[in-house]
Amino acid sequence: MESFPMNQTALAQRLLSMTQEIGHAASLADWPEAARLTEARSSLLMALSAQQEPATLEMIRKIQAIDAAILADAKTTQIELEIEYDKALGRTEAARQYLRTARD
């Protein structure tokens, strides 16, 4: 049986915890905090080794699932913000035309 370093399990647990924190920040639409945590997590992700024990692999799968959900949420939020931005531009243009007409 292969020997796995114990610190890989602890690392995966820390990564899962950070990923859950990122998910919480995203659920609050606190994208700057989510980005900060994601950046802090990046170097830890790079420290994972290819060989993992099954329990650690399960944590990694949970991390991947949370990341996929966060990405979907971020995409939805991006689309909603783009729609709101376009509507705001339309209202601004309408107000600009109204003022132009009022001055003439």
Q: Are 51 and 2 in contact (CB under 8 A)?
A: yes
Q: Which amino acid is at 13?
A: Q
Domain-wise residue ranges, the chain: 6-103
Verdict on whether the full-model pTM lies above 0.85 = no
Sign of CA dihedral 66, 67, 68, 71: positive
* H-only helix segments in 1-104: 6-27, 31-46, 54-103
8-44 confidence digits (pLDDT tens): 999 999 999 999 999 999 999 999 999 999 999 999 9
Q: Which residue is it, tokens 């020997």? A: 3
**Residue 75 in tokens:** 């995409």
pLDDT confidence of residue 93: 93
6-103: CATH topology is Methane Monooxygenase Hydroxylase; Chain G, domain 1 (1.20.58)
> What CA–CA distance (Å, rounded) separates 80 from 77?
5
